[in-house]
Structure 1
Amino acid sequence: MNRYAIVFDVGGTSIKAAVVREDGETVPDTVETFPSCGKEGKETLLAHFYGLIAGRVALLDKLSGGAPFEVIGVGYAFPSPFDYENGICYIRGQDKYDALYGTNLREAMKERIAADAEVGEKLSAQATIVFDNDAAMFAAGQLAFGHAKRYRRSICITIGTGTGSSFIDENGIVKGRELWNDPFRDGIADDYISKRGMLRVAAAYGLGADGDVKAIADAARTGDTKAADAFASFGRLFGELLAPYIREFRPEAIIVGGNIAKSHELFIPSAKAEIVVCGVPPQEVPTFETVEDTSGSAFAGALSLLKAER
């Protein structure tokens, strides 16, 4: 019997949904993006979240052509603040999901699954439902199915609206170890190694007024020297940030995901050079691996967390 996980990457404006096979591969025809409805009331939001689960089950039923299958659980990459272990949302004052403050989403979804015979036939009320942040899900996917499998120690970094991170050692993902809020220059890491950090660098070169990082990357690839210099400067900041963690943690690899990772060739070389400038011997500079399908890795990570809970 085929076994699957239903997975969601929850954002403030949209939710990306997918189904993942037991081997970590995303089922292509199941990937869809839905509005988050993040400003709606509690009951509307809970009905929306459950509707997305039921919709994935119905889609699997259709794609299977009547062949039996089992859904082993549901995994959510969910923004913080959130009690990931207990499944309780504590988001408030972020213009999203305020109505879910204090709500146990795991229990709310289990109640609805138990009350729905059609869904319960494929996904029982005892099925596991797990939550974690997107960076941790990304790292779990890399450890179970991706680049991190090949290394004893690595640091996974996602660069998007913020700086997501996870440290992986011989025992797996190091709990409670992140760097987004660590002091860096005149602020914290999140201020610099993120979309807004890249746009701040670009502004110094007279670029990025429209807030489009991709446009700057495209310009750099077609010979715009200012755009290329902006990305190189961003890379130097990235290298400066990483250097002390490399000296202390001694990772064999830095695994980079997130939207800005799609422009890796524009900033990783200068990051590596800056790591050496900051005192790391060249032979100790880790290998850099990039992952352009960050959501796919997060989906695979949700599957690995579900398997660990079984």
Structure 2
Amino acid sequence: MRNIVLGVDIGGSHITAAIINLKNRTLVENTWRRDRIDANGTASEILNGWANTLQQCMAAYNIKPTKIKIAIPGPMDYKAGICLIKDQDKFRSLYGLNIKHLLAKEINFEADKISFLNDAACFLKGELYSGSLSGFDKAIGLTLGTGLGTSHMARGKTRDSDLWKMPFLTGIAEDYISTRWFVKRFYELSNRQITDVKDLIDNHSKSPYFNIIFREFSYNLAKFIYKFIKKKMPLAAVIGGNIALAEDYFMEETRKQLAEMMGYSFPVKKSTLGEKATLLGASAST
């Protein structure tokens, strides 16, 4: 069946996959898989982890997908399937490898039926496709997690905005809008180590630095969105990624700070689809 596709979202700490029925824009029940991946592992460990998830996902459905569409952060040679990530604290062991051919071999699937796509662009496409941005035709998307993903709508297509490395404050944008900023900033203030934003919320919410960190993050995020808006002139923005799960601690303050910078209230929406947005966006991409 041409409408049956395996959609995949690869992030810095996880892989998520599901069989997608493109005809009715839905995930096939009981095929959803989400597994943690050590992005600092060896190439073999990472590829084996990905392959295991994909194989279990496909085994849960009796129809073989016609294609596998994989959303993954850049830099990548997306057409050839060559990983070019080397300076982002993830996937260093994959640098220069043709992960399309290696993964195809691991799962015994035709390499020419596997496509790699930018994860941020897929996320925005999914939200425009059937999520929180349905009805908008000009928007920007941000995925906040291990890294910073940015995307925009241009001439009817979603594209990677590649703003993670944009000069920002005293470094680049990803230095201030990512999990590593929370880890670094909390250590600077408290001299205590955390693993991620979930750890901060679950185990350090009583810290005197907890609210300070989220206020700083809200300002940084609002300032970045303001610069993003000036570049692309969108009508709305959508935010997703693991950090977006902590929206209660920063979203309203971000909107408030952004409104002060803009001089008016700009629509900043949280993803309604979550990880499904990227899977749907990847699967629907040509």
TM-score category of the 2 structures, normalised to the smaller one: 0.7 to 0.9
Q: Does 1:130 align with 2:124?
A: no
> Gaps spanning 5+ residues in structure 1: where?
62-68, 120-124
Partner of residue 256, structure 2: 273
Asked if 1 retains the 8 angstrom alpha-carbon contact of 2:70 and 2:282, the reply is yes
Match of 2:275 among 290, 295, 299: 295
Asked if 1 retains the 8 angstrom alpha-carbon contact of 2:101 and 2:111, the reply is no
Partner of residue 61, structure 2: 60
Per the TM alignment, residue 296 of structure 1 is displaced from its structure 2 partner at its CA by 1.6
Which amino acid in 1 is paired with 2:133? A
Q: 1:274 to 1:127 in 2, by over 3 A?
A: same
Asked if 1 retains the 8 angstrom alpha-carbon contact of 2:33 and 2:57, the reply is no
Q: 1:212 to 1:106 in 2, by over 3 A?
A: closer
Per the TM alignment, residue 105 of structure 1 is displaced from its structure 2 partner at its CA by 3.7
* Cα distance in 2 between the residues matched to 1:224 and 1:41: 38
Match of 1:156 among 129, 134, 141: 141
Partner of residue 233, structure 1: 216
**Number of residue-to-residue matches in the alignment:** 283
* Cα distance in 2 between the residues matched to 1:76 and 1:240: 31
* Cα distance in 2 between the residues matched to 1:46 and 1:193: 28
Where do 1:141-220 residues align within 5 Å? 141-174=126-159, 176-203=160-187, 206=190, 209-217=193-201
Which amino acid in 2 is paired with 1:139? L
Where do 1:73-112 residues align within 5 Å? 73-91=67-85, 96=91, 98=93, 100-108=94-102
Asked if 2 retains the 8 angstrom alpha-carbon contact of 1:10 and 1:77, the reply is yes
* Cα distance in 1 between the residues matched to 2:18 and 2:246: 25
Per the TM alignment, residue 248 of structure 1 is displaced from its structure 2 partner at its CA by 3.9
Which amino acid in 2 is paired with 1:167? H
Per the TM alignment, residue 127 of structure 1 is displaced from its structure 2 partner at its CA by 6.7
RMSD: 3.5
Per the TM alignment, residue 82 of structure 1 is displaced from its structure 2 partner at its CA by 2.0
- Say which SS state the counterpart of residue 225 (structure 2) adopts: helix
Structure with greater proportional helix content: 1
1:35-56 per-position Cα deviation (integer Å, ceiling 9, x unaligned):
65874566x8767655554443
Q: Does 1:254 align with 2:234?
A: no
Per the TM alignment, residue 261 of structure 1 is displaced from its structure 2 partner at its CA by 0.8
1:165-216 per-position Cα deviation (integer Å, ceiling 9, x unaligned):
1012452214x52211111110111011112223445456648643442354
Per the TM alignment, residue 269 of structure 1 is displaced from its structure 2 partner at its CA by 2.0
Q: TM-score, with normalisation over the residues of structure 2? A: 0.80
* Cα distance in 2 between the residues matched to 1:20 and 1:286: 33
Per the TM alignment, residue 274 of structure 1 is displaced from its structure 2 partner at its CA by 2.0
Asked if 2 retains the 8 angstrom alpha-carbon contact of 1:153 and 1:170, the reply is no
Match of 2:284 among 296, 300, 304: 304
Q: 1:48 to 1:193 in 2, by over 3 A?
A: closer
Which amino acid in 2 is paired with 1:32? R
